[in-house]
Amino acid sequence: MPRLATKKILTTVIIKTETLPVMAEHDVVKARQMVRQWASEIGLSLVDQTKIITAASELARNMVIYGGGGTMEIQSLEQYGRRGVKLVFEDKGPGIADITQALKDGFTTGSGMGLGLGGAKRLSNEFEIESTPGQGTRIMIARWK
């Protein structure tokens, strides 16, 4: 019985995957539209779709403003028998010096409101961030059905 369960947990099927360059403002709109399409395809509820699109919008804009542009990799997948959308935002910008501080609401080095990173985390089921100052930032978010 436990063995069977383990086997099931390891099953992750990638249904499809695509990468979108996000270099300028209009790419942020494109990213939102793409996430909407993929999220509705796998049957996420309207509220869940809105959450992941909003999170994607924040992270895509961050990449354009702070990271000098980057890429958004989008994946629809099936894990534990449920479907979800996973997004990976990657840039080769200056990186984030203090991630804990950057995740706090109200913290910003730019002119924004400082809600982007913390907000994107709250709007996702999974959130991972890696950043090396001088080398870039990689953020993964996922929302499950």
Partner 1 sequence: MMDRIPILRMGQFLLVTIQVDMHDRLALALQDDLTTKISETGATGVLIDISSLEIVDSFIGRMVANISAMSKILDAQTVIVGMQPAVAITLVELGLSLPGVRTALDVERGMALLQNPRVNMTSYAQAGDEENFDDSDNQN
Question: Could you give the string, one character per residue 36-55, with x where binding to partner 1 holds by CB under 8 A and - elsewhere?
Answer: x---------xx-xxx-xx-
Torsion, Cα of 39, 41, 43, 44 (10° steps): 10
Question: Could you give the string, one character per residue 51-90, with x where binding to partner 1 holds by CB under 8 A and - elsewhere?
Answer: x-xx--xx--x-----------------------------
Shortest distance (Å) from residue 67 CB to partner 1: 16
Let me know: does 105 contact 99? Beta carbons within 8 Å: no
The DSSP line for 100-128 is HHHHSTT--SSSS-S-HHHHHHHT-SEEE
Query: Which is it for strands 82-91 and 136-144: parallel, antiparallel or unpaired?
Result: antiparallel
Taking CB under 8 A as the binding criterion, the range among 1-9, 23-31, 92-100, 127-135 that sits at the site for partner 1 is: 23-31
Residue 104 as a binder of partner 1 (CB under 8 A): the answer is no
Residue 112 as a binder of partner 1 (CB under 8 A): the answer is yes
